[in-house]
């Protein structure tokens, strides 16, 4: 065994598992509800809210990903928005709970 090696690597993995479990068990207060719908007329639930001086835009995960992957669209969104509330993490949480 080399210096610094863990006898079974559990010493490195167990703390990470604890962090993941803590993240999964913490309750996050979500601001968007299932009544919030994407502004792209796709009728999907909104998981991202971009708030600007003239109003807000709501995005489903798919349309926000498309915007974020298009350099010009993302630049325009960042010019508009002074706050972006991104709750796409809910999709992961719902999947882990068997809700999605």
| Strand ranges, E, within 1-100 | 48-52, 55-59, 81-86
pLDDT one-digit tens code per residue, 59-89: 999 999 999 999 999 999 999 999 999 999 8
Regarding pTM above 0.85, the answer is: no
Give the residue extent of every domain in the chain.
Answer: 42-100
Q: Which pLDDT does position 66 carry in this prediction?
A: 96
pLDDT computed for residue 69 by the predictor: 96
Q: What is the pLDDT of residue 39?
A: 96
**Cα separation of 100 and 97, whole Å?**
8
Q: What is the pLDDT of residue 92?
A: 79
pLDDT digits (tens, 9 = 90+) for 10-64: 445 545 555 555 555 566 788 999 999 999 989 899 999 999 999 999 999 999 9
- Residue 54 carries which DSSP code? T
Q: Give the C-alpha separation, 75 to 85, whole Å.
A: 17
What is the reported pLDDT for 74? 96
């Amino acid at each position: 065994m080399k210096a610094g090696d863990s006898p079974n690597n559990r010493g490195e993995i167990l703390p990470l598992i604890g962090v993941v479990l803590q993240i999964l068990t913490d309750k996050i207060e979500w601001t968007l509800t299932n009544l919030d719908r994407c502004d792209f007329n796709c009728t999907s639930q909104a998981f991202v809210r971009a708030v600007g001086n003239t109003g807000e835009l709501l995005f489903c995960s798919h349309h926000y990903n498309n915007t974020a992957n298009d350099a010009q669209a993302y630049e325009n969104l960042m010019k508009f928005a002074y706050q972006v509330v991104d709750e796409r993490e809910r999709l992961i949480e719902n999947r882990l709970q068997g809700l999605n």
